[in-house]
């Protein structure tokens, strides 16, 4: 399910090593998880190109209405549609993620194209480096077609940088002038921001990371946001995964939260045949608490890394 790294190495801004600890772990990727789950779900019930525009419900069930005029009725509507959830915006219009004050610049470099100092220092490990308003990390992930063979993998880096709301808006306006909100995909970043990224890298990053950023042909960007719903169920409609709670990525636990939400939902429904309302009530309370706990953990870690804030939990 991914690529193994052996050690965690933390670099100082001058490139010297602050610490190196053996800590084997597996790094995977969104496409590998997605295609594995999709293969077991099959195509028959997976309908692409449908745009949900309205939801209506009563005590017996829920109907989803689509832009093409079609509709589907069922026992439940599960909004597992990510951080920009349409289901959330239709049923919980006031529940909006908040901007954390920093973004993630990101990039992927074929492992065989890693420049020499980057390859020597970073390849095969989980690397980190912090500076003022700057925190970067990187590791190998599966390559094109989910290829995990040595030589076919990608080096993935994520560089968190403080940016105010005005800067964010400018960064998220892509090379064609389209305002993309909270993420700019590969190939769409405006040239001036790619130039800015390289300038900042030269100023703030140790040589191996500087080289890897410079070797990235199509950097992309995502705003870091906070969200933790106090309610995940409204009648026969529910939210799970990032639709309900977006912990900052420092927790590295959001995907397992989405899976835990889904697995517990299945368990609660199976344990109470015919009692959907009861199953949802039992499901919701611990899932809301889990989302809030991770959101708090992510906020504390991120504020500490980017703004050098002391975690509230550390003050006793
Ligand atoms: C920089 C960064 C680093 C991260 N690192 C990690 C990490 O190390 N570990 C970790 O666990 N998590 C990490 N995450 C978070 C992780 O990616 C998410 O928590 C996870 O993908 C959430 O899964 P999800 O299924 O809820 O939503 P998503 O993965 O966003 O999936 C939502 C799906 O719904 C689809 N969709 C959206 N709208 C609609 C619609 N209207 N109709 C139909 N379908 C729709 C989308 O196409 C997508 O397939 C990171 C996130 C960021 C931004």
pLDDT digits (tens, 9 = 90+) for 8-41: 999 999 999 999 999 999 999 999 999 999 999 9
Is the CB of residue 222 below 6 angstroms from any atom belonging to ligand 1? yes
Closest Cα to atom 33 of ligand 1: 81
pLDDT of the residue at 313: 53
Which pairs with CB-CB distance under 8 Å and at least 24 residues apart come from 82-88? Answer: 82/241, 82/242, 82/243, 83/182, 83/225, 83/227, 83/242, 83/243, 83/246, 84/181, 84/182, 85/239, 85/242, 85/243, 86/52, 87/52, 87/55, 87/237, 87/239, 87/243, 88/229, 88/239, 88/243, 88/244
Percentage above 70 pLDDT, the chain: 97
33 in contact with ligand 1, CB cutoff 6 A: no
Residue 60: its pLDDT value, please?
85
pLDDT single digits (tens) 115-127: 999 999 999 999 9
Please state, in angstroms and rounded to a whole number, the distance separating the CA atoms of residues 169 and 251. Answer: 25
Are 17 and 9 spatial neighbours (Cβ–Cβ below 8 Å)? yes
Nearest CA to ligand 1 atom 47: 81
Ligand 1 nearest atom to the CA of residue 87, by list position: 41
| pLDDT at residue 315 is higher than 70 | no
Q: DSSP characters for the chain?
A: --EEEEEEEEE-TTS-EEEEEEEEEEE--HHHHHHHHHHHH-STT---S--EEEEEEETTEEEEEETTS-EEEES-EEE---TT-HHHHHH-TT--PEEEEEEEEEEEEEGGG--HHHHHHHTTSEEEEEETTEEEEEEEE--GGG--STTS-EEEEEEEEE--HHHHHHHTB-TTS-B-TTEE-TT-S-HHHHHHHHHHHHHHS-HHHHHHHHT-SS-EEEEEEEEE-S--EETTEEE-GGGTEE--GGG--HHHHHHHHHHHHHHHHHHSTT-HHHHHHHHHHHHHHHHHHHHHHHHHHHHHHHH-PPPGGGG-
Ligand 1 contact, 194 CB (< 6 A) = no
Q: Whose CA is nearest to atom 43 of ligand 1?
A: 81
Ligand 1 atom nearest 222 alpha carbon: 53
CB of 174 closer than 6 A to ligand 1? no
Q: Ligand 1 centre from 29 Cα, in Å? A: 11
Q: What is the mean pLDDT of the chain?
A: 96
> Does the beta carbon of 241 lie inside 6 Å of ligand 1?
yes
Residue 242 CA to ligand 1 center (angstroms) comes to 6
Q: What is the pLDDT of residues 149-187, one digit of tens each?
A: 999 999 999 999 999 999 999 999 999 999 999 999 999
Helix 276-307 / helix 254-271 crossing angle, nearest 10 deg: 170
Q: Residue 316 — very low, low, confident or very high, per pLDDT cuts 50/70/90?
A: very low
pLDDT for 308: 86
Please state, for a pLDDT cut of 90, what percent of the chain lies above it: 96
Which of 254, 261, 263 has most ligand 1 atoms within 8 Å of its beta carbon, as the pocket-test mutant? 254
Residue 120 tokens read as 């020597």
Calculate how far, in angstroms, residue 303's C-alpha sits from the geometric centre of ligand 1: 22
As a whole number, mean pLDDT of residues 249-271 equals 97
Digit-coded pLDDT (tens) for 130-149: 999 999 999 999 999 999 99
Asked if residue 71 has pLDDT above 90, the reply is yes
pLDDT at position 314 over 70: no
CB 138 within 8 A of CB 155: yes
Q: Whose CA is nearest to atom 31 of ligand 1?
A: 82
pLDDT reading at 311 higher than 80 = no
Domains of the chain are 3-25+98-224 (3.30.9.60), 75-95+229-308 (3.50.50.60)
Nearest ligand 1 atom, CA 241: 26
What's the distance, Cα to Cα, between the start and end of the chain in Å?
39
More confident residue, 52 or 314: 52
Whether residue 80 has its Cβ less than 6 Å from ligand 1: yes
Whether ligand 1 lies within 6 angstroms of the CB of 239 is answered as no
Whether the Cβ atoms of residue 84 and residue 182 lie closer than 8 Å to each other: yes
Q: How many residues does the chain have?
A: 316
Q: For residue 247, how far is its CA from the centre of ligand 1 (angstroms)?
A: 11
Ligand 1 atom nearest 83 alpha carbon: 30
Given a cut of 50, is residue 238 above it in pLDDT?
yes
Residue nearest ligand 1's atom 29 by CA? 82
Token couple for 204:
């703030």
């Amino acid at each position: 399910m991914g690529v193994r790294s052996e050690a965690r190495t933390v670099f100082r801004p001058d490139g010297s090593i602050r610490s190196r600890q053996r800590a084997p772990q597996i790094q995977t990727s969104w496409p590998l998880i997605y295609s594995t789950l999709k293969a077991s779900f099959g195509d028959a019930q997976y309908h692409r190109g449908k745009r949900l525009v309205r939801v209506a419900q009563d005590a017996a069930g829920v109907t989803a209405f689509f832009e093409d005029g079609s509709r589907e009725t069922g026992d439940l509507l599960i909004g597992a549609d990510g951080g920009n959830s349409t289901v959330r915006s239709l049923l919980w219009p006031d529940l909006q993620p908040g901007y954390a004050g920093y973004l993630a610049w990101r990039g992927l470099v074929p492992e065989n194209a890693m420049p020499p100092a980057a390859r020597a220092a970073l390849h095969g490990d989980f690397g980190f480096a912090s500076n003022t308003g700057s925190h970067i990390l990187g590791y190998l992930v599966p390559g094109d077609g989910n290829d995990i063979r040595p030589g076919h993998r990608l080096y993935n880096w994520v560089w968190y940088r403080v940016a105010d709301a005005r800067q964010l808006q400018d960064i998220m306006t892509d090379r064609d002038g389209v305002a993309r909100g909270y993420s700019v995909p590969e190939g769409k970043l405006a040239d001036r921001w790619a130039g800015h990224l390289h300038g900042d890298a030269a100023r703030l990053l140790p040589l191996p990371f500087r080289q890897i950023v410079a070797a990235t042909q199509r950097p992309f960007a995502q705003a870091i946001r906070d969200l933790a719903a106090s309610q995940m169920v409204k009648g026969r409609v529910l939210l799970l995964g990032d639709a309900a709670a977006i912990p900052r990525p420092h927790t590295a636990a959001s995907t397992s939260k989405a899976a835990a939400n889904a697995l517990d939902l299945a368990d609660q429904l199976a344990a109470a045949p015919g009692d959907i309302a009861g199953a949802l009530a039992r499901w919701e309370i611990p899932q809301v608490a889990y989302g809030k706990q991770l959101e708090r953990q992510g906020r504390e870690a991120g504020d500490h890394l980017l703004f050098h804030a002391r975690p509230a939990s550390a003050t006793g």
